[in-house]
């Protein structure tokens, strides 16, 4: 079998990869829905993979893996890797998890990071009200993640939240030492959410990046005893092209509150220092950023050797990304906690993807399906209604 073409279409903001073969089997991958600018990056790799055997996934990836980088630029490589596994599974007549070593669990736990409701404000009662709405979702999430600090509107909407100059750019670029009022307010919002959830639903906190080292330690120590599941990306994180493991180590050593990072990190090599320095308690790589499904599993196994837990990121990965997460999570070692549940955006995505269960999530779990490849397919007739003019040949 040989790859005959690589195409990319933008569907609802998501770059969607289609790899065609001379055997008539095609595979799909997807990058996060807020990265439509990645299309030319995906197509850059076409000449590297056309003519290769897609079932030799690692051999194909060796041709392109070194040409990616930290989030967002590893997403193109990652989506291609998903599509290769989709083809390999279909060719073998097996679900991808079988090719990754087999199923460890029949159902995979997910947590809520994508089904959101607008906050009415930035006061503790607003966070409590918002958390109560999420706790009532029919998916029955056992873990809910909420943004605070520099991963929220607190720096923008609260006077004197921190000492620093606002850049006013996207992707959590604010950074600075919190004022006493800012730290107190943040803790009050966390306590208000905890009051709502009690000990029935776990609370995870997406914090930054942007925290200074002293503030990261102060927040972590202040929240000891509250049973917060983790503090995520305080020092580095979303769209940060470096790791700073030594700073995370200082935070982790100072507290019993679990410390988490990793969604932006590309490739196994860039997790090495985090693990070997025992710099964090939990990592959350995203299969749509780390380099793909197999890369995620490799990192999970190396993390497990160091006593580090796995809670993969995935909020914007869409429905093809969801299928990839299900396949990967089914085969991960027992350091797996849950992955961040992605949804289809816009809603018409649920009309163009076939093979998903209904409902998808029950009591915070997804039952692992057993169809070949990723186990889903694109409804071509329905999808054509949403293709832009320059993507009309996507299925040709």
258, 283 Cβ separation under 8 angstroms: no
Q: Is residue 49 part of a domain?
A: yes
Q: What is the pLDDT of residues 11-22, one digit of tens each?
A: 999 999 999 999
What pLDDT shows up at residue 26?
A: 98
Q: How far apart are alpha carbons 305 and 297 in whole angstroms? A: 13
Q: Is residue 383 part of a domain?
A: yes
What pLDDT shows up at residue 165?
A: 82
Tokens 């890369």 correspond to what residue? 295
Same domain, 225 and 128: yes
Count of CB atoms within 10 A of residue 117's CB? 12
Same domain, 202 and 240: yes
Q: Is residue 343 part of a domain?
A: yes
Is the backbone of residue 265 left (phi > 0), alpha (psi -120 to 50) or beta?
A: beta
Same domain, 138 and 227: yes
Using DSSP, state whether 7 is helix, strand or coil: strand
172 pLDDT exceeds 70? Answer: no
Higher model confidence: residue 170 or residue 198?
198
The pTM score is 0.97
Q: Is residue 396 part of a domain?
A: no
What pLDDT shows up at residue 67?
A: 97
- Bond prior to 93 in cis (omega within 30° of 0): no
Same domain, 383 and 351: no
What pLDDT shows up at residue 169?
A: 73
Q: What is the mean pLDDT of residues 68-87?
A: 98
- Domains in the chain, number: 2
What residues contact residue 120 under an 8 Å CB cut-off, 6+ apart? 126, 129, 130
Q: What is the mean pLDDT of residues 336-349?
A: 98
Same domain, 192 and 60: no
CATH of the domain at 216: 3.20.20.120
Same domain, 88 and 231: no
Residue 126: both structure tokens together: 């607003």
What residues contact residue 98 under an 8 Å CB cut-off, 6+ apart? 89, 92
Q: How far apart are alpha carbons 228 and 203 in whole angstroms? A: 5
Same domain, 68 and 109: no
Same domain, 62 and 133: no
Q: What is the mean pLDDT of residues 245-254?
A: 98
Averaged confidence pLDDT in the chain: 97
Rg of the chain (C-alpha set): 21
327 pLDDT exceeds 90? Answer: yes
Same domain, 84 and 47: yes
% of the chain residues with pLDDT over 90? 97
Same domain, 70 and 160: no
Same domain, 10 and 79: yes
319 pLDDT exceeds 80? Answer: yes
Same domain, 124 and 198: yes
CATH of the domain at 62: 3.30.390.10
Q: What are phi and psi of 41, to 5 degrees?
A: -70, -40
266, 260 Cβ separation under 8 angstroms: no
Q: Is residue 234 part of a domain?
A: yes
Q: What is the pLDDT of residues 153-168, one digit of tens each?
A: 999 999 999 998 888 7
The mean-pLDDT minimum among 53-67, 88-102, 143-157, 165-179 falls in: 165-179
The range of the structural domain enclosing residue 32 comes to 3-94+379-391
């Amino acid at each position: 079998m040989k790859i005959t073409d690589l195409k990319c279409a933008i569907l609802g903001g998501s770059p969607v990869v289609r790899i065609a073969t001379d055997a008539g089997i095609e595979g799909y991958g997807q990058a996060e829905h807020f990265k439509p600018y990645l299309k030319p990056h995906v197509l850059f790799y076409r000449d590297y993979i056309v003519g290769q055997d897609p079932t030799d996934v690692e051999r194909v990836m060796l041709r392109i893996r070194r040409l990616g980088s930290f989030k967002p630029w590893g997403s193109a490589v990652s989506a291609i890797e998903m599509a290769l596994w989709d083809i390999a599974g279909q060719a073998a007549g097996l679900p991808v998890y079988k090719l990754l070593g087999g199923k460890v669990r029949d159902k995979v736990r997910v947590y809520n990071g994508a089904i959101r409701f607008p906050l009415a404000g930035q006061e503790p009662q607003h966070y409590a009200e918002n958390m109560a709405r999420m706790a009532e979702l029919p998916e029955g999430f056992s873990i809910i993640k909420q943004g605070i600090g520099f991963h929220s509107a607190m720096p923008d909407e609260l006077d004197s939240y921190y000492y620093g100059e606002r850049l006013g750019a996207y992707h959590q670029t604010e950074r600075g030492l919190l004022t006493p009022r800012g730290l107190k307010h943040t803790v009050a919002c966390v306590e208000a959410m905890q009051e709502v959830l009690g000990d029935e639903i776990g609370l995870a906190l997406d914090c930054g990046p942007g925290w200074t080292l002293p503030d990261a330690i102060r927040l972590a120590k202040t929240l000891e005893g509250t049973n917060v599941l983790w503090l995520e990306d305080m020092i580095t994180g979303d769209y940060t092209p470096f790791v700073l493991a030594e700073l995370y180590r200082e935070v982790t050593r100072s507290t019993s509150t679990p410390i988490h990072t990793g969604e932006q990190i590309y490739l196994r090599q860039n997790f090495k220092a985090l693990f070997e320095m025992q710099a964090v308690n939990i990592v959350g790589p995203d299969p749509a950023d780390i380099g793909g499904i197999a890369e995620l599993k490799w990192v999970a196994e190396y993390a497990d050797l160091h006593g580090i837990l796995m809670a993969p990121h995935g909020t914007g990965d869409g429905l093809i990304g969801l299928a990839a997460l299900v396949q990967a999570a089914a085969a991960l070692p027992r350091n797996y906690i849950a992955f961040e549940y992605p949804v289809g955006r816009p809603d018409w995505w649920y009309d163009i993807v076939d093979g998903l269960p209904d409902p998808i999530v029950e009591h915070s779990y997804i039952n692992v399906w057993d169809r070949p490849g990723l186990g889903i397919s694109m409804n071509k007739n329905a999808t054509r209604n949403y293709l832009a003019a320059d993507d009309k040949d996507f299925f040709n």
